[in-house]
Amino acid sequence: MEDTRVAVISMIISSEESAAAINSLLHEFRGYIIGRMGIPYRQKGLNIINVVLDAPMNVISGLSGRLGRLEGVTAKAVYSRADISQKGNET
């Protein structure tokens, strides 16, 4: 089994035209997604989306990179430490 990490990809979206592409990418990676939270910031005309994943690092960085290349989207990933990735499996 490949090692996975829990990570959060945070996006700040300034272009509503990117919504369909964002949703398409998130659908493509849905098997890794634990949860998602979206916050509209109407005063600034922005949307903020946080996506929590449990996935191999290359999958997380690949999704973050693809999201960040979309017009009007800034995306960054924050990863859990490697030494905590299996703690939830202990009984």
Tens-place pLDDT, residues 61-78: 999 999 999 999 999 999
Contact by Cβ (8 Å): 81, 6: no
Q: How many CB atoms lie within 10 A of CB 91?
A: 3
Task: Identify the structural domains of the chain with CATH numbers, from first to last.
Answer: 5-84 (3.30.70.1150)
Range list of H helices, 1-91: 19-28, 57-68
Q: pTM score, two decimals?
A: 0.86
Q: Are 13 and 22 in contact (CB under 8 A)?
A: yes
Q: Which residue has the tokens 């964002």?
A: 22
Task: Examine the pLDDT at 86 and tell me if it is beyond 70.
Answer: no
Question: What whole-number distance in Å separates Cα of residue 41 and Cα of residue 45?
Answer: 6
Which tokens hold the place of 19?
């919504």
Q: Is the pLDDT of residue 26 over 50?
A: yes
Residue range 79-88: mean pLDDT, rounded:
68
